[in-house]
Structure 1
Amino acid sequence: MLKGYVMVFQLPNWVARLLSVPRFRAYLDATGGDVERAWELYRWNVEVSEAFYGPLHCIEVGLRNAEHRLLTTRYGQADWWYAAPLTKHDTCRVDKAYADLARKGASSPTPDDVVTELGFGFWVSLLNRTYDRHLWVPALHRAFPHYHGRRSSLHDALLSMVLFRNRIMHHEPIHHRDLAADHRKIYRVLNYMEPAITRWLRGFDRVPNVLARRPEEGRR
């Protein structure tokens, strides 16, 4: 800064072209129209979204593998979705997984291929009340050996993680959320499944560090 002059922050020229003005508007609104602080908040939103990848990876992969193992045992076949009383909506999800795999060149997909293709929302849906009698009571409650509460509360917690994960995967703003609470919820559910995984995750989880560097603008 030259003496007697005030430098005015300007966004890089490529921002409007690649990130779009409407997209940046949410950050301007959060910072009272301060362009420089909005730009800092935008960058931090990208950084914290990236940091949540590890915890969300653990909860999604851990849930699907635990449920797949238990349902394979219950129905005596790896493609248990053909034997389980799935709703029409969830059956369509399985059909779509097969179709997507076929488009990717998998002419004879294995059950493991299908498990990987099915989204987080599918696995969480297996914990809703529709499946209480046929899936939760006889099998899926065992995926959470350290949980002693109601199925509905657990389902609601996981459903909120699906919505949170989708916001991140669609590159939407998450800076306005209570991200520390989101982080605690992920760890809480992971502990219900296997406490050892949370100890492993803490060894490289970047979320606490990124949260500590959150710009003041946009803080709840």
Structure 2
Amino acid sequence: MSGQHDVQRRLLSEPRLKPYLDEAKDDLESAWSVYLWANELAGALHAQISLVEIAVRNSIERELRNWNISQSGTSEWTLKDQAKEPLYTLLKDDLNKARRAARRDANARATGHPRRGATPTHNDVVAQLMFGTWVKALQPLSKEEPEGRQKQLWADGLNAAFPGAGQSDAGRRKLGQQLDSIRRLRNRVAHHDNLLNVKVGHRLNEMLSLVHKANPTYPRLVMANSRVRKIAREDPRRTWTV
């Protein structure tokens, strides 16, 4: 084994390298080239999913704001004791965590920062909510959980966040499945899991279908400067001989 090969193995670790070696039939140079390609793909997917997350977050948040007002609440539904039922029960744990995180961020701001130690605003808390929160607004994260609250929110107005999905509960379920699929891909990317068997074209189309349901002009904006398709075409495995 060359010194370079030893360094490559040490850098990645054997467990992380193994899927790439398996794919390359134990040829380390080929495995390394696929790893570098997959790493580049992960970066492009991360950027792509970030735009999708922002589009989804803002679409859902706007309608939850409108819904909360319609229930005699305020627009600042993420602040303590402001969310009305069933939104409060559905997202209370997520909201508590997000408020704590927003307070930590406020206290960690540099001395002299104009908002150091400031009481978190609604927008501060929204920024701390996880991708899973927006999935949870549409469907439970666990199949064992009932989905009555999601059904109620959807019927009462959340469907307006995604006009292209239709107002039926079937539209909610389909949307929730798409969003959860993207959430799971995002987690794989974030945790440096291998993407060797990801059908990139299919997953990208899934993202575009989702944001199109929010606004038909979003896919073009989301794809601006996207490198996902280009990198997917550069998969080094395409040049391997069988």
- For Structure 1 versus Structure 2, the TM-score category normalised by the shorter chain is 0.7 to 0.9
Measure the CA separation in 2 of the matches of 1:134 and 1:216: 48
Normalised by the size of structure 2, how large is the TM-score?
0.80
RMSD: 2.3
Deviation at 1:17, TM superposition (A): 3.5
- Cα separation, partners in 2 of 1:103 and 1:151, compared to 1, 3 Å: same
1:140 pairs with 2:158: yes
Higher relative contact order, chain-length normalized (CA < 8 Å, sep 6+) = 1
Structure 1's unaligned 5+ residue stretches are: 1-7
The 3 A distance-change label for structure 1 pair 195 and 46 is same
Q: 1:181 aligns to what?
A: 202
Partner in structure 1 of residue 58 of structure 2: 65
Cross-structure match for 1:169: 190
Give the deviation of 1:67 after TM superposition: 1.2
Establish whether residue 112 from structure 1 lines up as the match of residue 123 from structure 2: yes
> In the alignment, does 2:6 pair up with 1:30?
no
53-62 or 152-161, which deviates more? 53-62
Counterpart in the other structure of 1:131: 149
1:54 aligns with 2:72: no
Structure 2: how far apart are the matches of 1:94 and 1:139?
20
Measure how far apart 1:69 and its partner are.
0.9
Shift of 1:12: 4.7
Which of structure 1's runs of 4+ aligned residues deviate more than 4 A? 8-13
User: What percentage of aligned pairs have identical amino acids?
Assistant: 28
CA distance in 1, matches of 2:93, 2:203: 30
Residue 88 of structure 1 and its aligned partner are, at CA, apart by 5.1
Is the CA contact (8 Å cut-off) linking 2:135 and 2:176 kept in structure 1?
yes
Q: Flag structure 2 segments of 5+ consecutive residues without an equivalent.
A: 108-116, 140-146
**For the residues of structure 1 that align with 2:46 and 2:158, how far apart are their CA atoms?**
25
**CA offset at residue 56 of structure 1?**
0.8
Q: Structure 1: which amino acid aligns with 2:214?
A: M
TM-score normalized with structure 1 length: 0.87
Q: What is the total number of aligned residue pairs between the two structures?
A: 212
Q: Distance in 1 between matches of 2:199 and 2:91?
A: 31
Displacement of 1:86 in angstroms is: 3.6
Q: 2:87 matched to 1:78?
A: no
> For the structure 1 residues 68 and 144, does the alpha-carbon distance in structure 2 shift closer, same or farther, using more than 3 Å as the test?
same
Give the letter for the 1:28 counterpart: L
- Give the secondary-structure state (helix, strand or coil) at the position aligned to 1:153: helix
Task: Tell me which of 186, 195, 201 is aligned to 2:222.
Answer: 201
**Secondary structure of the corresponding residue to residue 94 of structure 1:** helix
Deviation at 1:152, TM superposition (A): 1.0
